[in-house]
Structure 1
Amino acid sequence: MQRDYLEKVYAGFLGMNVGIRLGAPVEPTIWTYERIQRTYGDITDYVKEFKNFAADDDANGPVYFLRALDDEDLSEGLRPKHVGNAWLNYAREGIGMFWWGGYGVSTEHTAYLNLLRGIEAPMSGSKMQNGKVVADQIGGQIFIDTWGLISPNDPKQAADFAEAAARVSHDDEGVYGARFMAACIAAAFSESNPMKIIEIGLREIPEDSKYYEVTKNVIFYYQNYPEDWRSCMKYLHEEWGYDKYPGVCHIIPNAGVCILSLLYGEGDFNRTVEIATMCGWDTDCNAGNVGTIMGVAVGIEGIKKNYLKPINDFIALSGISGYLNILDVPSYAKKVATLAYQMTGESAPEELLMNFSEKELIFDFELPGSTHNFRVSDPFYCSVYNTEEQAFSGKRSLGVLFDRMVRGKKSKVFIKPYYRREDFSDERYMPVFSPKAYPGQHVSLMLNLDRWNGESMYISTYIRNTRTKEEVILESRVVAEKGWKEWSFVIPDLGGDMIDEIGLIVEGNSPDKYKDLGVLYIDDFKVEGKAKYSIDISRQKKEFSSITPFSHNHGAWEIEGEYMSCMCLDHAEAMTGNYFMEDYKVCGIVIPVHGESHLISARVQGAMKGYYAGFTSENKVSILKNEFGLQNLISVDYAWELGKEYKFSFDVQGYLLKFYINGEKIAEVSDDSYAYGMTGYAKYGLGRSLFGNLSVEES
């Protein structure tokens, strides 16, 4: 693997998200090319500010569909059915993930419903099943970026992977677009010339395809009129416009925009995504795809700071797992890199393996420019930046510049392990969240003070209660001398509340005439260990159509006092917690109100995978397994009553699954299908339940 592979993955994934964020505000079709030009002129920066960018289907797909590599047996290679399973497992039906525009209208919605009803991929996305118009829409190429990122310098592999993924929902031109884009991304690891990248991509699609034809025509136009991208856009409107290609968002006109922006961007990442946005049509998709290509090609140094700073290494997703929906970009780049090493059979570098975990937070700041989403509460006094000035381990750390602070003036320096509706400007794609850190876990970090002026600094570690906004101070020290020092603490129990900030409070400790200036360096920030916490339902809120901190799939959910009320016709589920929890005991209060199915869950890995225990029919208790269909592992007699409150406990240790009611063990069974997963409540049948407080203890 090339030396700078990880850095290029990081730059490519950031480049994709820069393009998405830049293009999203002008994506709706009301934003015509002419209207964008009149309103914004020559775009050189984001056209809209967001508190945090909520979510986007163009980011959801590349992250969640790649998980097929984690979940499936690939001994015979990647197949469309493998990625189809990821669609079913990681999407909440009808909300988030992608555009649910209706059967026969939205290609993705159509494919999902086909899959759900047993039409396997690739038939689920075929023109035979869905018709050519639906099969040729743009979605084939907008979800494939990560297949290129795991295939450095191997355009053929990237194209084949992307085709397998695209055939879940697309056919013909939609598939050719997937092959082309993934091949271009793979090629960009060693080629930075856009024309040569395009030529490599063209080798992976049929010469008699419309995709090939529009690409060649735009190249020809560029070679004759290389100075005027707007005249080329006029040509696209006249010869390749939406009026000639039916459907909501056809791939061919947008392919023309991607080629135009790559060529007229002339190897400049920033100009490339700007042109793709100014062209109109499917702006976030087009800018996202070319952003990945050029991000890989030019590296992080080629992306302007005004595009990187608002992202700050954080992407919100809107899949089924609230834990996975909080994505730290450097950590995800490492995830992609480890998959690439596995695919090649090459040993991953030791430093990569040591500084990456999906279950825990490990922030080493080793990628150039990385911040791991550290932020400050008062930018007048403090700012953060990645630096090689100091490092406890490796070569880099996070610098916190504090500027002319005096006694009593302070700023928080923190990460957000949990997000709420108030943290976002809008509800794009309805993201839902479960915390990345919990009571009982251990937080550690290394600090080094370089004081330029003043007497000393007063530094405290803290967490914040997301409901009350109370900052819980854990340790405070007066720091005056240089030298790396370890700070650590255990996240305290908050009585059923979640935490949404972890970090430091940096406070000046000098009088006015000795203003504090200098840099505080942070390195090796970690949140690890076993969690022990509870969720008090009465302290939660309904946000993004889900009750915090759960994600819901199906059913009607409301808070009724100290309970979550759930009613459904056939299935409903509430999931929460660390997606990678292994051995643990979960306890919850359940009141069966109507119907026969009232369950607690463990090791849930999505809509199609997990264990469940509880009432399943009259006078029956069962432990069930969902493996793309519900299976009964064990059933026992138990006389239960509607309207009565029960305490359920589900203990999963290794292969052993034990279920208790009111402290009495009722059922026990062994199964080795799932080693980790989320927890929560569920129903698999008509009825209504009240679900109370939930507690989790890892072992």
Structure 2
Amino acid sequence: MGVPVKGLKKDENKYQLNENTLERIYAGWLGKVIGIRMGAPVEGWSSEEIQKKYGELWDYPVDYGNFAADDDSNGPVFLVRALEQVEPGRKLTAQDVAEALLNYAPYEHGFFWWGGYGLSTEHTAYLNLRQGIPAPLSGSIQKNGKTMAEQIGGQIFIDPWGLVSPGNPGQAAELAREAASVTHDGNGIWGGVFVAVCISLAFEEWPMEELIEKALTYLPSDCAYAEMVREVLKFWEKDKTGDWRVCLAFIQEHFGYDKYPGSCHIIPNAAVMILALLYGGDDFARTLCICNMCGWDTDCNVGNLGSIMGVRAGISGIDYEKWQRAVNDLLICSGTMGSLNIMDVPYGASCMARQAFALAGVELPGSWKELLENHLESCHFEYPGSTHAMRVRLEQAEEDENGDREYTAGEGCRQEALYRIYNTSEMSCTGRRSLKVEAEGMRAGAKLYVYQKTYYRAEDLYDNRYEPSFSPRIYPGQYLRAKVLACGIQGYVQLYVRDLNDGELLSGKKIPCQKESWLDLEFVIPFKRGACLGEAGLLFTAQEEGSGGVFTAYLDILEYGGEPDYEMDFRQERLESWCEHWSSTQWEVTQFTRVKGSTWLEDEWLHVSGTDFAETYTGSHTFGDYCLSAELKPLCGEKHLLNVRVQGAVRSYAAGFYGEGKLGLLKNKNGYQILAETEFFWETGKCYCIEVQCRGAVLWVLVDGKRLLEYEDCDGPYLQGAVGMSVFEGSHCAYRNLRAEGAHYQARSEQ
């Protein structure tokens, strides 16, 4: 992207980023998620089919509960992370985005539609990249043909490039063109440019038709996409009925699916987006609902409009009860990094906001600077309405006949109690907002849990067509911190985590609730073997009857981090099917994600095997300095390794047996390179304990307790990342007793 691209217009950026910009980025990303959730149940339907089933559809078609992963959110939230790898002073290129795609998309499962080479545009481009064909050739008409290059994906993943360019449409256009060209070309690119520019312009006040006209100036006037937009605009200007269905009939006649080749062409779907923008009356809900009722690729179309209209309306323009509460800020993903697959909407918005201010050269305002630079992973509740996917569960001293129930934000009522959580500006400790928790009728001994789910099983999610798999977000050895103010009844509060494998509750010290001052709580989770931590939060215990009063608490910060101290017992894990309704081929070992190859369990061993290579990961992307150890049993082939500091499929270190009679330390930089090696004569079928120690840029490799390799990486070292196992060249290896430890390892090393 070093030179301006033909067809793109450069602007002087006059928009000034401010605190309101942050809220609009959140509103835009939330709008995207709302639109996807709204459109997913009727994806691929015609307008006639939707009308026959629902009539007028002015709500979510389906109550999903926990909405699972979707390609329309996977692409945006992971591909924008390409900006993190761009050095200061260098512009983003298509190859940067291509490497992000290779890093976060597993091989032919999860992430997006794997419809086959020459059928699915993204699948085709991904395989091109895997074979060393660089971007933008990977997505070009020259390589893949015009039909493949002009399908809808060029615009459905494009939202972040507008969100990181508030009021700077020239920048949005350039970023979008580079990103879209990885997988698309021609009108596939111009659609991405158009949508990103619309999002960028939405940060300023424009009449809708002027916003559309201005966005068109960033497209070649003779491209089919621009011609379609102008035709729909002309029809709207002449239409005296104001009836969007009249315009839909015009689109079906002139720009319908029958007019364009491929499975999901960009032009018909973009046409109904323009219709909705013009007939939506500048109203967030009406615009999205009209687009949904138009049919075709609804989650894509309504998702893009959600971004545009979310930014335009701001958070106050999105009805909380009707649209936001159901989402509860939860965003499930299906990339290579399991701890990133359990995400919330504020986290994604904050990542984009941080990039937006950095690109503009503007310092983050007020308390946002500290939050986004040092507490990005935390629950901070500073976005209006945000809940960070927190939940509440009440356990009375005596269970009723229905047993305990779990509720999301704003819901939950039984005979004995009413309990709810919601965002408020009434109280705060570190910023302006907090999460308010209320419960009525708590009896003595009642326990109120306010928590995040930190791990999901297949049965927890409504629809797993995009095959998510997870690693927990928190581990033994790490800390859990919170700031809380509680009042209403006498009682205690403590931090806790729950182990899903054996049901054990691990908790910190009970602290009496204080009505007048905020409590700073911290709990360091003790070492545990065989754990899978699935909940993390606060436990409030009532000391006396509520007597009709209301228990109230305010939560300002909830965060977890630090280094791990745990050991996996593979006898506690299981194989889960993540795609039982679509395919029986997607099985994953619990707590692991898989890039490629096959993984399975036999007794206490986890097996990893592949035709060429196989890699599987667990742990958190936030792990820093730690030691990883495991027993390895090579069973076939010559390359058997442990991975550390894993940041995705093309960024990690690996250490282990790398050829006959060799021990190696390697770095994956979109391809493995040997950093250090030594002779070590290992045998097939024999067990070895391999240990990899990481401190700063220095790594050590030990076999059976003997240090054999040491290397300092002075070329862009990876300083954080998860753990994993990998084999190459058709190898097969079994692993057991996988141990990750941070603070304890550091203390030993210093003795």
Please give the alpha-carbon distance, in whole angstroms, between the structure 1 residues aligned to 2:462 and 2:199. Answer: 32
Please give the alpha-carbon distance, in whole angstroms, between the structure 2 residues aligned to 1:227 and 1:352. Answer: 43
Number of the residue aligned with 1:382: 419
Deviations 1:276-328 (A, max 9, x none): 11111110000000000000001111112221112111201111111221212
Structure 1 residue aligned with 2:513, among 479, 482, 486?
A: 479
- The answer to whether the aligner puts 1:248 opposite 2:292 as a matched pair is no
C-alpha contact (below 8 Å) 1:406/1:516 kept by paired residues: no
Please give the alpha-carbon distance, in whole angstroms, between the structure 1 residues aligned to 2:251 and 2:65. Answer: 35
- Runs (5+) with no aligned partner, structure 1: none
Please give the alpha-carbon distance, in whole angstroms, between the structure 2 residues aligned to 1:481 and 1:504. Answer: 16
C-alpha contact (below 8 Å) 1:594/1:689 kept by paired residues: yes
Alignment-mate amino acid for residue 248 of structure 2: M
Shift of 1:76: 4.2
- The answer to whether the aligner puts 1:275 opposite 2:290 as a matched pair is yes
Number of the residue aligned with 1:370: 386
C-alpha contact (below 8 Å) 1:192/1:267 kept by paired residues: no
Shift of 1:477: 4.4
Shift of 1:333: 1.6
Instruction: Report percent identity of matched pairs.
Output: 42
3-state SS of 2:102 partner = helix
The two structures, once aligned, show a CA RMSD in angstroms of 1.8
Structure 1 residue aligned with 2:730, among 680, 686, 695?
A: 686
Number of the residue aligned with 1:202: 216
Number of the residue aligned with 2:95: 81
Number of the residue aligned with 1:505: 539
Please give the alpha-carbon distance, in whole angstroms, between the structure 2 residues aligned to 1:329 and 1:662. Answer: 44
Which residues of 2 match residues 386-425 of structure 1 at below 5 A? 386-425=423-462
C-alpha contact (below 8 Å) 1:360/1:528 kept by paired residues: no
Number of the residue aligned with 1:542: 575
Please give the alpha-carbon distance, in whole angstroms, between the structure 2 residues aligned to 1:493 and 1:159. Answer: 50
3-state SS of 1:53 partner = coil
3-state SS of 1:336 partner = helix
Number of the residue aligned with 2:561: 528
Number of the residue aligned with 1:644: 686
Shift of 1:69: 0.8
C-alpha contact (below 8 Å) 1:155/1:200 kept by paired residues: no
Output the TM-score relative to the length of structure 2.
0.89
C-alpha contact (below 8 Å) 1:623/1:635 kept by paired residues: yes
Please give the alpha-carbon distance, in whole angstroms, between the structure 2 residues aligned to 1:32 and 1:360. Answer: 41
Query: Does 636-645 or 487-496 show the bigger shift?
Result: 487-496
Query: Does 219-228 or 632-641 show the bigger shift?
Result: 219-228
Shift of 1:202: 1.0
C-alpha contact (below 8 Å) 2:363/2:369 kept by paired residues: no
C-alpha contact (below 8 Å) 1:355/1:363 kept by paired residues: no
C-alpha contact (below 8 Å) 1:405/1:507 kept by paired residues: no
Shift of 1:112: 0.8
Which residues of 2 match residues 545-564 of structure 1 at below 5 A? 545-564=587-606
Shift of 1:357: 5.7
Please give the alpha-carbon distance, in whole angstroms, between the structure 1 residues aligned to 2:51 and 2:448. Answer: 40
C-alpha contact (below 8 Å) 1:359/1:578 kept by paired residues: no
- The answer to whether the aligner puts 1:675 opposite 2:719 as a matched pair is yes
Alignment CA distance shift 1:346-1:356 (3 Å)? closer
3-state SS of 1:405 partner = coil
Shift of 1:438: 1.6
Please give the alpha-carbon distance, in whole angstroms, between the structure 1 residues aligned to 2:361 and 2:514. Answer: 49
3-state SS of 1:310 partner = helix
Structure 1 residue aligned with 2:315, among 293, 300, 325?
A: 300
Query: Does 576-585 or 596-605 show the bigger shift?
Result: 576-585
Query: Does 605-614 or 529-538 show the bigger shift?
Result: 529-538
Which residues of 2 match residues 50-61 of structure 1 at below 5 A? 50-61=64-75
Please give the alpha-carbon distance, in whole angstroms, between the structure 2 residues aligned to 1:443 and 1:625. Answer: 32
Deviations 1:613-657 (A, max 9, x none): 111112211111221222122221112111111111001222222
- The answer to whether the aligner puts 1:605 opposite 2:647 as a matched pair is yes
- The answer to whether the aligner puts 1:578 opposite 2:593 as a matched pair is no
Number of the residue aligned with 1:440: 477
Structure 2 residue aligned with 1:627, among 669, 682, 702?
A: 669
Query: Does 239-248 or 190-199 show the bigger shift?
Result: 190-199
Shift of 1:406: 2.2
Please give the alpha-carbon distance, in whole angstroms, between the structure 2 residues aligned to 1:648 and 1:119. Answer: 36
Number of the residue aligned with 1:589: 631
Alignment CA distance shift 1:356-1:76 (3 Å)? closer
Query: Does 353-362 or 218-227 show the bigger shift?
Result: 353-362
Number of the residue aligned with 1:162: 176
C-alpha contact (below 8 Å) 1:185/1:293 kept by paired residues: yes
C-alpha contact (below 8 Å) 2:485/2:514 kept by paired residues: no
Alignment-mate amino acid for residue 635 of structure 1: E
Please give the alpha-carbon distance, in whole angstroms, between the structure 2 residues aligned to 1:147 and 1:595. Answer: 44
Query: Does 458-467 or 330-339 show the bigger shift?
Result: 458-467
- The answer to whether the aligner puts 1:230 opposite 2:245 as a matched pair is yes
Please give the alpha-carbon distance, in whole angstroms, between the structure 2 residues aligned to 1:460 and 1:78. Answer: 46
Alignment CA distance shift 1:570-1:75 (3 Å)? same
Number of the residue aligned with 2:14: none
Alignment-mate amino acid for residue 114 of structure 1: N
Query: Does 58-67 or 456-465 show the bigger shift?
Result: 456-465
C-alpha contact (below 8 Å) 1:125/1:135 kept by paired residues: yes
Alignment CA distance shift 1:481-1:151 (3 Å)? closer
Alignment-mate amino acid for residue 464 of structure 2: E
Which residues of 2 match residues 451-490 of structure 1 at below 5 A? 451=488, 455-479=489-513, 481-490=515-524
3-state SS of 1:469 partner = coil
3-state SS of 2:273 partner = helix
Alignment-mate amino acid for residue 246 of structure 1: P
Please give the alpha-carbon distance, in whole angstroms, between the structure 2 residues aligned to 1:180 and 1:405. Answer: 54
Please give the alpha-carbon distance, in whole angstroms, between the structure 2 residues aligned to 1:389 and 1:346. Answer: 30
C-alpha contact (below 8 Å) 1:440/1:533 kept by paired residues: yes
C-alpha contact (below 8 Å) 1:356/1:362 kept by paired residues: no
Please give the alpha-carbon distance, in whole angstroms, between the structure 2 residues aligned to 1:191 and 1:693. Answer: 59
Please give the alpha-carbon distance, in whole angstroms, between the structure 2 residues aligned to 1:461 and 1:250. Answer: 51
Please give the alpha-carbon distance, in whole angstroms, between the structure 2 residues aligned to 1:615 and 1:575. Answer: 18
Deviations 1:34-83 (A, max 9, x none): 11111112112211122311111111111111111112346442221111
Shift of 1:522: 1.0
C-alpha contact (below 8 Å) 1:173/1:209 kept by paired residues: yes
Shift of 1:460: 4.0
C-alpha contact (below 8 Å) 2:425/2:433 kept by paired residues: yes
Number of the residue aligned with 1:147: 161
Alignment-mate amino acid for residue 387 of structure 1: T
Shift of 1:398: 0.7
3-state SS of 1:249 partner = coil
Output the TM-score relative to the length of structure 1.
0.96
Deviations 1:164-222 (A, max 9, x none): 00011111111110110000000000125322221221111111111112111212222
- The answer to whether the aligner puts 1:263 opposite 2:278 as a matched pair is yes
Please give the alpha-carbon distance, in whole angstroms, between the structure 2 residues aligned to 1:3 and 1:510. Answer: 43
3-state SS of 1:4 partner = helix
- Runs (5+) with no aligned partner, structure 2: 1-16, 395-411, 579-586, 747-751
Number of the residue aligned with 1:517: 550
